[in-house]
Amino acid sequence: MLGKRIRHTKRYQEILNVLVKNGFSHFLFRAGLIDRGLARNKESTDVNTSMKSVGKRLRHALQELGPTAIKLGQIASTRHDTLPPEITEELEKLQDDAPVLDFDHVQNTIETELDDTLENLFAHVNRDPLATASIGQVHAASLLSGEEVVVKVQRPGLKPKMETDLEILHGIGHMLEERTLWAQRYRLGDITDEVSDTLRNELDYIMEGRSGEQVAQQLDSEAFIKFPDIYWEQTTRKVLTMEKINGIKVSNSEKLDEAGYDRAIIARRLADAMLRQILDNGFFHADPHSGNIHILPKNTIAFLDFGETGHISDNLKRHFASIIVNLHQGDTRAMIKTFSRMDLIEEETDLEKLKRDLDKLHQQYENVKMKDLSLGRIIIGIFNVVYQHHIKVPTELVIISKTILTLEGVLGKLDPEFSLSRAAEPFARKLLLRRYHPREIIRNSLQGIGDNLDILTDLPKDIKEIMSVVKKGRVGLDINVNHVDEIMRRMDRISNRIAFSILMLAFSIIMAGLIIGLAVVGQNTVIWELPIIEIGAVIALLMFILMVVIIIRSGRM
């Protein structure tokens, strides 16, 4: 425990020093992370405070802080819903720039993880890496059976260092949320937790292999979609062995043209495969950049690297599909209703102002040609608008928007005339119509019945607990009512009508008593020379007519 605290303190100081050196001392002081004296001594008077400059300085700081910070910056660059575009554009430039790992370390990791010598595991492993990154390094190899493979090996000692950085990040994020309004508004604690979870998943190669197989099963019937096979006997959490794909990188248009491939067909197949993953199956490759997509003969698309995947529930799929359809129709009111069905609208949200802001956004794209429309940019624009109205966007939708934006960049180079927005609409409409299929209706009904049965089963126990609390006198009543004056006026009307009804009833009882009494004693209905019964009958009739008129006019009949 003491060693952990010392390690945290040392790394914490390193992080502060790098941030101060890159011009963030004033921010650190405002956040309560350093004292005023250090901020005054370290802050340069010529620091440019423009967002573009802040983004550049932040990128340099993250590169200096090492692998964890670089990966966190890459993940943060996808948070277009919470970070200014000048910041995300700079963070997108973050490259791993990792030094080549000595092959002795690679061999030691493989042999330790697979518990055997390299010669007994592989026929050959190329000493020069195919690619290097902050988390792992990739080498070409061949199995004893002759198959060509690639082996991804995690850098040694990486996980403890990352865990230290992530624990510090968690603490800083939640501390800033407690101390600053901007961190509360952007829910900085939640964001740091999300990016930490994403990074921890990338450290587990078994999870990456299983994710790849799960996506592959979804598109197993597609002849022109390829996924590398995973060799599980040579795979652990730190070593991943998979089939080698010998294709052309999707961004290399010149080589694709030389090989005679049809880039328009490739674009259509790639878009179709990704939309099926997202809108049909709900589990998808979340990082479809050009390095992770290679093209094979017959315009076949091969997906690589499943370190980043996304998952979206059936309900959220339908909501996302509704947003796409609402976009095409320009129906901002329907879009707001979708947000409401997602339980994202808060009581303080000004719905009319939200609609006006969404209308302004829609007007910006109204006269843009379909091929020039960026579905990802529009969705991010919507997220920016709703976030200004204190509406939190679900993380899953943020991942989807980032995935779509990355995909559009690849598709634009393949076929500038291709429109992902147009291609997505049929998928979205099909998804919305599917909920009305008899099978879906029956399934949802059965699920609803099951939920209600659970409620009925628990009802006796719940009532017993409530009665126990009531008997012990521990029931508190806290009522917060809006428009209390109007409610009190309505309560007065109701009480007056009840009193009027009671008076009518009392009058009727008195009249009935008089009639019965006079009949018993044999007297006529004239008392004090007045026809009491006749007068009472007229009054009762008038009161009855008045009551009927009041009820009819109230519109509650």
Distance CA 461, CA 455 (A): 10
Distance CA 286, CA 308 (A): 5
* Contacts with 336 (C-beta within 8 Å, 6 or more apart), sequence order: 345, 351, 354, 355, 358
Query: Do 356 and 462 fall into the same domain?
Result: no
Taking the CA atoms of residue 100, residue 101, residue 103 and residue 109 in that order, the dihedral angle to the nearest 10 degrees is -150
pLDDT at 318: 87
Decide: 341 and 334 in contact? Cβ < 8 Å. no
- In the block, tokens 């008089």 appear at 514
Query: Do 229 and 253 fall into the same domain?
Result: no
Tokens of 38: 């250090």
pLDDT at 531: 63
Query: Do 192 and 286 fall into the same domain?
Result: no
Does residue 369 lie in a domain region? yes
Closest to 309 measured CA to CA, from 214, 232, 228: 214
Does residue 111 lie in a domain region? yes
Query: Do 170 and 266 fall into the same domain?
Result: no
Decide: 266 and 296 in contact? Cβ < 8 Å. no
Q: What is the CA radius of gyration of the chain?
A: 35
Does residue 162 lie in a domain region? yes
Query: Do 125 and 198 fall into the same domain?
Result: yes
Distance CA 271, CA 282 (A): 15
pLDDT at 45: 46
What's the start-to-end Cα distance of the chain, in Å? 73
Query: Mean pLDDT per segment of 10 residues, for the chain of length 557 residues?
Result: 63 85 78 62 53 84 83 73 75 74 94 95 94 88 95 89 84 78 68 77 91 92 93 95 94 92 95 93 90 94 90 88 84 86 80 88 74 77 79 81 88 90 87 69 60 62 70 58 56 64 66 61 52 65 67 52
The number of distinct structural domains making up the chain is: 4
3 state SS of 7: helix
Query: Do 130 and 275 fall into the same domain?
Result: no
Query: Do 282 and 306 fall into the same domain?
Result: yes
Query: Do 336 and 463 fall into the same domain?
Result: no
Query: Do 261 and 407 fall into the same domain?
Result: yes
Query: Do 109 and 170 fall into the same domain?
Result: yes
- The domain of 541 spans 484-554
Which run of H or E residues covers position 238? Answer: none
Decide: 536 and 514 in contact? Cβ < 8 Å. yes
- For the four alpha carbons of 530, 535, 537 and 540, in that order, the dihedral sign comes to negative
Distance CA 353, CA 491 (A): 33
3 state SS of 505: helix
pLDDT at 178: 78
Decide: 338 and 319 in contact? Cβ < 8 Å. yes
Does residue 22 lie in a domain region? no
pLDDT at 557: 47
Does residue 272 lie in a domain region? yes
> SS3 string of 87-132?
HHHHHCCCCCCCCCCCHHHHHHHHHHHHCCCHHHHEEEECCCCCEE
Tokens of 456: 């009925």
Does residue 71 lie in a domain region? no
Does residue 51 lie in a domain region? no
pLDDT at 239: 96
pLDDT 10s digits, 438-486: 665 666 555 655 555 566 566 677 676 777 766 666 655 555 555 455 5
